[in-house]
Copies of this chain bind each other. A is one copy, B any other.
Amino acid sequence: MNITIWNEYRHEQQNEEVRRVYPDGIHGVIKQFLLEDGFESVVTATLDEPEHGLTDEVLNNTDVLIWWGHIAHDEVSDEIVEKVKRRVHDGMGLIALHSAHYSKVFRGLMGTNCGLEWREADDKEILWVVDHTHPITQGIDKKIELDIEEMYGERFNIPEPDELLFISWFTGGEVFRSGCTYKRDKGKIFYFRPGHETFPTYYHKDIRRVICNAVRWAAPVGV
């Protein structure tokens, strides 16, 4: 199975605070824990590479694409966006992390604007599992607790998920549909909320477990 991790990779280069948390980029940390979990073919791609690192060759050889973007959604070229969407239709899995809810790729696949309520904060977040039968929630007990995270709140303008796996609670009084699956033609999509760039979320063992599970679930059948 071939995995490509796409990261905007701007915060880490521009912001000392973020660089301290993710010195090799968010993509670097994700790559490392995927390798540790037994995945063998994991590559990364970032916005400022030619074609954003997503050449036809890369895309055509990707079984599951992980996407993290935030401040530069608009800089992703429409042509690449179309190619990514077409590959999802053809069967490539997509894991959209955190602020990727607002990426052109995700919005284009959802058909909604994917807006949400939002507050930069240091809330505690608790993600409750609402479906214990699903491959993506395996190895997770009743909940995942994150001591500090940014707040995303309802109403989240997404289509009704095919499956709702996690609901988040935040100190400030909000809730959020934090883990949602969708199918778009042959492609499987998982949106997973946590992962603000200033917090060490991607070092949390349960967050890693969910992402590793999601990659296996999203892979095209037969891979």
Contact = CB atoms under 8 A, between A and B. Distances in A.
Interface of A: 85, 89, 91, 108-113, 126, 128-133, 135, 138, 142, 153-157, 159-160, 162-164, 167-170, 173-175, 177, 182-188, 221-222
Chain copies in the assembly? 4
Given A128-B154, A162-B160, A138 B222 contact: yes
A128 B155 contact: yes
Nearest to A85: B111
A221 B201 CA distance: 26
Contacts of A173: 126, 169
A111 B113 contact: no
A164 B183 CA distance: 13
A130 B131 CA distance: 18
Nearest to A169: B175
Contact of A186 (B89, B132, B142): B132
Which of A85, A111, A156, A160 has its CB near the most chain B CB atoms (within 10 A)? A111
B157 A182 contact: no
* Top 5 A-B pairs, shortest CB-CB distance: A109-B111, A111-B111, A128-B154, A167-B175, A157-B185
Contact of A128 (B174, B184, B185, B222): B174
Contacts of A187: 133
Contacts of A182: 159
Contacts of A175: 126, 128, 167-169, 175
Contact of A221 (B135, B157, B222): B135
A113 B86 CA distance: 9
A159 B174 contact: no
B113 A89 contact: yes
A133 B174 contact: no
